[in-house]
Amino acid sequence: MSQLVPPHGSPTLKPLLLEGPARAKELDKAKKLKKVPLTSRETGDLIMLGIGGFTPLEGFMGKADWKGVVDEMKMPSKNGLFWPIPITLSADKALADSIKIGEEVALYDPEHDEFMATMTVTEKYTIDKAHECQKVYKTTDVEHPGVKMVMEQKDVNLAGPVKVLSESYFPKQFEGLYQRPAESRKMFEERGWSTVAALQLRNPMHGSHAYLAWVAIEVCDGVYIHQLVGKLKPGDIPADVRVKAINALVDKYFRKERVAMAGYPLDMRYAGPREALLHAVFRQNYGCSHLIVGRDHAGVGDYYGPFDAQKIFLEIPSDALQLKPLCMDWTFYCYDCGTMASMKTCPHESKAVIDDNGKYQGGSRLLLSGTLLRKLMSEGKPVPAEFSKPEVIAVLKEYYDNLEEKVEVKLHGAATGNVKK
């Protein structure tokens, strides 16, 4: 019997991906159905439904579940099951009006010219997009990339169960990294792990990320470095470069029997606290018992406090999740301590001063963040040696040196330390 934490809301995973003859038959049918085009975010959500990452969901949410999730993080259709972010599909009004309730449609990815699924439409409804943004993202500012995604959704939401036909380009492009929940669970069991801490990454691993992973290994059987390989906002480092940088660090500085790496196919929503909860839900499905929640988890700009993603775990019911958060304080390199430290352990409070040549000039704490690292690298400025391992910096330097068009990276409070805890 498995010693791993069970999937969310179900004793077993519930993948919706068809394979073999069943897939071939459904694909032939899909080609004869009305096509509903998908956005990149919807495609990622659909793949997660397919591989069981969104267990126990059976498709895209109807209005009652949309409202329950937005307002109370509960799904009425599943006896109040905890769920933190709505999983919805939208279509333009003309197409939605042409579809009858009970009709099957084909879900189509226009970017990659591929049929992704079939869906039986059980409901058509409109939503208050601003209400969703305010409740889920805590803002209606369209400068927020997640809010922008919601506000650009089509006019009508379509709900219904899906039969998934494809995992898109992810298995091929990220061969050896992309992983289904059934595969991660099998791997953990083969390694004899029962407690597994997931480390969410959308940036290359700088010193703070590595420190958090090492701390987690001290209290769990292993750490699961779980990278997002879907789409990011402009200025973020693309997945293939990030994978190369993380591999360079893990290969040299981690015990192989205590670390595993994988990728998952979602786009970032940048929903801060609510997205941290979604990360917890699907990491439980992947077999993880813990999620590392550090500073500004899944945040963007100054929309969230640096520890709001930790606080929200204290606000949900104690039985909402079986996975538990590993809440970590702000971490940094301390020149007086001579090592990585955190605000819980380090008594030296002055901020380190680094000159334009990346040389240390005095002070104690060098605050590390992915945003600051991207800014330094994109502007061609030297990166202090204490920021990350040289193997990581070498990979990133090669990327930025060959980047033809650079996006301005703006520093925010959570990246500089100019915030109240």
Which residues are identified as catalytic?
Answer: 202-203
CB atoms within 10 A of CB 351: 15
| Token output for 256 | 């192989």
Backbone dihedral angles phi then psi of residue 210, each to the nearest 5 degrees: -60, -40
Pairing of strands 324-327, 35-37: unpaired
The full length of the chain comes to 421
Residue 28 to residue 375: CA distance in whole angstroms:
48
Half-sphere exposure of 293 (CA within 13 A, CB side): 28
For residue 163, which amino acid is it?
Answer: K
| Token output for 328 | 């970590």
Buried b (16+ CB within 10 A) or exposed e, 158-185: bbbbbbbbbbbebbeebeebbbbbbebb
| Residue whose C-alpha is closest to residue 263's, from 281, 243, 278, 244 | 243
| Residue whose C-alpha is closest to residue 118's, from 184, 35, 40 | 35
| Token output for 32 | 């004869």
Query: CA-based Rg of the chain, rounded to a whole angstrom?
Result: 22
| Residue whose C-alpha is closest to residue 295's, from 258, 247, 337, 343 | 343
